[in-house]
A and B are shown apart, each in its own frame.
Chain A
Amino acid sequence: NAGVTQTPKFRILKIGQSMTLQCAQDMNHNYMYWYRQDPGMGLKLIYYSVGAGITDKGEVPNGYNVSRSTTEDFPLRLELAAPSQTSVYFCASSYRQQNSPLHFGNGTRLTVT
């Protein structure tokens, strides 16, 4: 099993450009999440989804959009990139049970200049 796969691994964007970060999981998890990690900091939740067609905002959703048309995929869209969005982005998934840990992808390092 591949687990959680994120693409791309690295990306440099110019201010105002847009891009989509891809995330796919093959564990048939119901729940999926997008977190961002700023340098030297913990992770903050951007958006999450509890199943196909259902998404909701996390702690820091401004400047981002998500969709979930299938159980496997949960892309994150950045519109009008800003330097404040320079960060490492992690996608994660989990089972729908209390003690289920999050399974993380390897992250996407995004720089906006």
Chain B
Amino acid sequence: AQKITQTQPGMFVQEKEAVTLDCTYDTSDPSYGLFWYKQPSSGEMIFLIYQGSYDQQNATEGRYSLNFQKARKSANLVISASQLGDSAMYFCAIGVFGTSYGKLTFGQGTILTVHP
């Protein structure tokens, strides 16, 4: 079974500064993917970024980057130049492929508040 741990229930950041949201994972499967989703107060789930276990480089998508440290089993999300609209719940998730059919296991989330 897979497990995701997000140890920061809440984080605060000043507008325009960078913030790191922590995520550690546990799996015995060598082939997996890590996903980050954003859930604003309106409730929808928005996909942000993906990192595959065999990817050599850290994933980046605009202001989002994933700090992937495979040996430490961590996949932290870095948001650069925070904006007020970044205030939301953020979820880390893991998918183990092959017979797992794309199912994702989610962490409990981190609430990010961006202050002006």
Partner of B97, one of A44, A50, A58, A98: A98
B78 within 8 A of A: no
On whether A102 and B106 interact (CB within 8 A), knowing A31-B101, A48-B101, the answer reads no
CA distance A40 to B9 in the complex (A): 9
A100 within 8 A of B: yes
Q: Tell me the chain B residues, 15-66 only, with Cβ under 8 Å from chain A.
A: 31, 33, 35, 43-45, 47, 50, 52
CA distance A94 to B102 in the complex (A): 8
CB–CB A106/B44 < 8 A? yes
Residue from A35, A42, A100 having most chain B Cβ neighbours under 10 A: A42
B35 to chain A, nearest CB (A): 6
B30 to chain A, nearest CB (A): 13
Chain B residues with Cβ below 8 Å from A42 are 4, 91, 106-109
Starting from the known contacts A42-B108, A43-B45, A90-B45, 17 additional A-B residue pairs (CB-CB under 8 Å) come to: A31-B101, A41-B109, A42-B4, A43-B93, A43-B106, A44-B106, A45-B103, A48-B101, A94-B102, A96-B102, A98-B31, A99-B50, A101-B50, A102-B45, A102-B102, A104-B45, A107-B43
The residues of A with any CB-CB pair to B shorter than 8 Å are 31, 33, 35, 40-45, 48, 50, 58, 88, 90, 92, 94, 96, 98-104, 106-107, 109
The residues of B with any CB-CB pair to A shorter than 8 Å are 4, 31, 33, 35, 43-45, 47, 50, 52, 91, 93, 95, 97, 101-109
Q: Please, could you name 28 A-B residue pairs with CB atoms under 8 Å apart, sorted by A?
A: A31-B101, A35-B106, A41-B108, A41-B109, A42-B4, A42-B109, A43-B45, A43-B91, A43-B93, A45-B104, A45-B105, A48-B101, A48-B103, A50-B101, A90-B45, A94-B102, A98-B52, A98-B95, A101-B50, A102-B45, A102-B47, A102-B104, A103-B47, A104-B44, A104-B45, A106-B43, A107-B43, A107-B44
